[in-house]
Amino acid sequence: MSGFEWQDQRGIEGTGFVRALRSRLTAHLPGMLPDLKRMVEAAIMEELSTPETDGMVTPII
């Protein structure tokens, strides 16, 4: 994360990191959603397009 200095030392709790990540993610999520949606849809369609390769997708009759 730009502008956030994280020190990896024993005894330092991750509260500051979690708060910074939460606020930065919340602020940037609207801009990220279209790309994330496309990536997830593409991954799902790729997985469903080859149903017999892993045996997990089978028609229920």
Does the pLDDT of residue 5 top 60, yes or no? yes
pLDDT score of 36: 94
Which structural domain, as residue segments, surrounds residue 18?
A: 11-52
Domain count of the fold of the chain: 1
d(CA 3, CA 20): 10
pTM of the model: 0.50
Q: Per the domain annotation, does 22 fall within a domain?
A: yes
Position 30 in a domain: yes
Instruction: Look at residue 26 and tell me if it is in a domain.
Output: yes
In a domain, 2, yes or no: no
What band does 34 get if pLDDT is binned at 50, 70 and 90? very high
Q: Is residue 1 part of a domain?
A: no
Asked whether residue 23 is assigned to any structural domain, the reply reads: yes
Question: Within a domain: residue 16?
Answer: yes
Element (H, E) at 42: helix 15-49
pLDDT: is 40 or 13 the higher one? Answer: 40
Average pLDDT, stretch 42-54? 76
**Which pair of tokens denotes residue 37?**
């949606």
Judge contact between 4 and 20, C-beta under 8 A.
yes
pLDDT of 35 higher than 80: yes
